[in-house]
């Protein structure tokens, strides 16, 4: 099938690395990436960036499900942060 589009070279890095670097601005406090479990090369690339990786038990069938998984991960993280802060 070929190489995943996000791992294609773009300049001196890959598409996904360039995207994640672009999102690293002070206003963005966390980056959440939802991906399938079988994408090990992509996982490794994203993990190096420090982004939060969400891998649902069942691969999301469409973009909406992916966004819902990301939102749920953010909600869980926020609740955990509030508990740790004693809120």
pLDDT digits (tens, 9 = 90+) for 27-73: 998 899 999 998 899 999 999 998 999 999 999 999 999 999 999 99
pLDDT digits (tens, 9 = 90+) for 5-33: 999 999 999 999 999 999 999 999 889 99
Whole-Å CA distances, 61 to 56, 73, 76: 11, 18, 22
Instruction: Tally the C-alpha atoms within 13 A of residue 35's C-alpha that lie toward its C-beta.
Output: 20
Domain limits for position 41: 5-85
Neighbouring-strand partners of residue 53: 33
Indicate yes or no: pTM above 0.85. no
Counted domains in the chain: 1
């Amino acid at each position: 099938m070929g190489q995943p589009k996000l791992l294609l070279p773009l300049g001196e890095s890959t598409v996904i690395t360039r995207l994640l670097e672009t999102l690293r601005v002070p206003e963005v406090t966390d980056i959440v990436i939802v991906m399938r479990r079988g994408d090990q090369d992509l996982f490794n690339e994203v993990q190096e960036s420090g982004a939060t990786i969400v891998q649902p038990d069942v691969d999301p069938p469409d973009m909406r499900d992916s966004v819902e998984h990301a939102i749920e991960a953010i909600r869980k993280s926020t609740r955990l942060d509030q508990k740790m802060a004693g809120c």
